[in-house]
Structure formats: C-alpha cells, structure tokens
Structure 1
C-alpha cells in the first residue's frame, strides 16, 4: 500500500482551504449581485390571466347591468314620489287659501278668529273649537268639514314629502353604487386590454431592451414596429379624426423614415374639443406607460415632449400654430 508523502499530506489541507475560500468568495459575490429580472410572462400565462380576468369582468358587467336597472327603477319611483308631492302641494295651497278666506270672513263678521286653528290645530281638537263660532249650524258644519279636510290634506302632504325625501336618498345611493361598480368593471377591462397588448410580440425587440433598426414596408410605408403601435392605439382609443404617418418631406424628423405617426384630434388645424384633448392625454399616458416595451423613442403633445431616455415631459419652444405645436394631435416616434 502506498504511503502519502509529507508534502502530499501538506497539500491536501491547503487544497481544501483554497477550495473553501473560492466557494466562499463565489457565495459572497453571488449575494452581492442584483436579483435577476422577473421573466416576462409567456403567451400561455397571459392567456390564462386573460381568461380569469374575463370571468371576473363578466361578473362585474352583470353587476353593473343589474345596478343600472335598479337605478332606473329608483329614478322612476323618485319621479312618481315627486309628482305626488307636487300634487299634494297644489291641494295644500288651494285648501290653505280657502281656509284663510273663511278666517277673514269670520273676522269681518265679528266672530272668533279661526286663524289659530289654521296655524297649528289638529283634526282631533276641531270639534271643541267649532261650537264657539257664532254661526248657523250649517256654517259650523261647513267650517268643520273644511278644517277637517285641510288637516287631511296637510297630513297627505307631509307623507308625500317624507316619501319624496326617502326616494331621493335611495336614488343617490343607487347612483353611488352604480359608479362604484362601473369603476371596478373599467379597471378589470383595462387589465384585460393590457394583457392582450402583451400578447403582441414587438418586432425587432432584443432581450436586453434595445431594438433592431427596421426598414419601412407595406403600402403605408412605415416600419413593422410603428405599425404595431399604430394598430394598438387605433383599437384602444378609436382616433376618429385619422392617423397620419409617412410623408416624404425631409424635415429631419421620423415621418420620412416610417417611424412616426400623428394621431389627429380635430380637422383643419382647429383646436380640439375638451373630450378630444382628454383622448390625447389618455393616448400619451398609455404610450409612456408602455414606452420601453414597445420601443417608443419620444412623444410630442401640446407643446411638450417626452423622451424615453429622460422619462419626463419638458416644454418645447413655440412653433407658431395649433398643429405645429401639436395641440391637435399627439406625435409618436419609435426606434
């Protein structure tokens, strides 16, 4: 049996120590490295999320529908209650006028004033007051009937008033409930849109977040990447006044290269409506949110520019007009 030499014995422990040191160094280095970025969801994962969100969306839409029906019924009840209240008010006004006329006539004839009865008497206390009126029995009976009738009218008016107030509160609650359900449904639908957008593979995207330059193609003379961005925006935001992309004028911009589109919010250089201005804001918000994934280079809107490199908006110099200053359209350029 071979016997290990002293040198070999010395090398053994040293080698173990060295290996342990290397392993420890590797552990230290790995613990100091930043965590790897979370992998992008696969098409299968996205489809599963969309399916789950769609079921949630269907339930929210059903709840929203039922809430709308309940609101319509509450609105109808509120209108009916208000109509009854208006009718009771009309009768109350007529009977009040009639009763005042009786009181004035009685006062002018020198009899007791029944204004006190008119002011706060109830039907229960009327029988004790009426005999004191120095009138014929016929007049007493007539006044008694008028006062009793007035008390009934007054009570009907009070009930109608309370019902109308209750129906108004019910209607307000239904409106708030509907808005809450609508908000929840819209948020879920927005999530579904985001997941669907991610199903589209961005042409020319590298794994390191950069983008391969592309040539224009097709009859619209724009790059595949710009075409995807255009399609997504058109489907999501409609853009009723048209989208202008390629133009041959060499102005130093991205349009002649097929890498820019203008999403119009009005025609003929007119200032857009408030609704269209909001549409432009929403387009820009969505583009900025998805800028890095879609290969957006910059966005210009309402005399401001957002560039993916600095990630913030800054004001631009005045170019002298609504269109030139991009008040009537967002301009979007891709890499």
Structure 2
C-alpha cells in the first residue's frame, strides 16, 4: 500500500509541474496547448540520450539538459507556430488547432529521434525507463524526493519571479490585461516569449523525471495530455494556484481511485485510469466551469459551521 501511495504522490508531483506549464502559457496567450505532453516526452528522450551517450553515472545528471531542451521546444512553439498566427489575428480556435497540429509534428519528430538514437547507441530506444537506476535514501525512493523537491523549487522560483521582480510584475500585468500593459510600456511580446520558455522548461523537468516512475514510449505524451488538461481545468485554468490544486487532486485520484475500483471490479479496470480524470473533468465543467479556485469556499464553510 505504501508503494501505491508513494507512486501516487510522485505522479501527482509530475502532473502538477505539467499543469503549471500549461496554465502559464494559457494565462499569457489564452491558448490551450495540446502539445504539452509531447514537450515532456521529447525531453524524456533527450534525457535518455544524454545519459547513454555521455555515460553519466545517473540519469539525474541529465535533468539540466532536459530543462534546456524543453525550454527550446517551448520557445520554438511560440516563434514558429503561434506568433505568426497571432500577428494575423487568428482566433483562439485556430491557435488551439495549431497546437494540436504541432503535437502531431512533435510526435513524428520523437519517432525520428528515437530511431536515430537506436542506431547511435546500438540498442532499442523506442521505449525505456530509469526505474532500476533510481537510488534510495533512508528507504525512500529517490524519485519521490526529487519530484517533490522539483515542485517546491519550481514554485519558489515561479512565485519569486512573479512577485519579487520587476519583470514578474510586467508578466502579471500582461497576463491580466495585455492591452493596458502595452499602453503602460510593458513589452507584452517579451513576456509571452518568456512564458513559453518557462513552460517548456517546467515540462522538460517533468519529462526528465517521468522515466523514473514509468516506462516512456513515443505515444506517452498523447496519453498524459488528458490528465494535464483535467488538472488545469479542475483547479482553474486561469490561475497557477488552480494548477497546483488540480494537479494533486487529479494525480492522486487517478492512482488511488483506480486502485480502489480494481479491488471491486477486477484488475482490468487499471487500463482505464484516464476515465477517473475525465470523470472529474466533466463534473467540474458541469458544476464549477471556472474551476475549484473560483468557488467562494468561505461562504460554504460559514453555512456548515455549527
């Protein structure tokens, strides 16, 4: 049972990082990025490449390279795909479809990358994991410690940037009202570009840690994008606090609820883990369309106060 809980926390940590990544770009450009999962998975493959080619003693040393690689993907997505369309005043629907198309392109590039890597390392690189390469500290899995630390440090960095720096103030201004921010002298274009760099970096971090939890293969990005969107929307797509809340709620629910259902209906239920996140997503859209952070919880707590 402790292994289940540990894995649930690890998954929730990684999902929270990816939900934050999605939320950051949505707030700045109002575009739901359907390629967010592929950002992470491509970074996973890059981490595997760095580990195998340079013979690092541990895949954890690949993390900085994956973060940089993810940042490059994020910037490339904005410059090559979204910026030209935004200049042409494309609708949100067109921009959303563009990210979906870009996801398919990234999926193809991941396939080419893995095939090329297989030839380079002379081994099958289509799927891999780092589970057997993890360490333990006082009986605790390294990925549990590192994924938790990654979330804590990422949030500390993000909130320091947004609330303690002038550039962060400019970012928040452009998030809340881009037109007014531009009038006040804020370079909205720079803040948008940086938000995609930051989003890609966070995805790269999550991608580097993902193989320590599960086997990674080319279509992993298409599988986890459902959970990423569910986490962001359930918490509240327009707030980072919502991404954190949704990430842990959906991440823990997927693992723990599915396990409980398997005890009742059999092990075949484990195949349908995404049904849990989809159910939570649908219920949220039906009853709390703006997410959990939009609810005035104090009012409800006051009503139930004895």
Q: Report TM bin, short chain.
A: under 0.3
- TM-score, normalised to structure 2, is 0.27
Given the two structures, how large is their TM-score scaled by the length of structure 1? 0.25
Q: Which has the higher helix share?
A: 2
- Which of the two has higher C-alpha Rg? 1
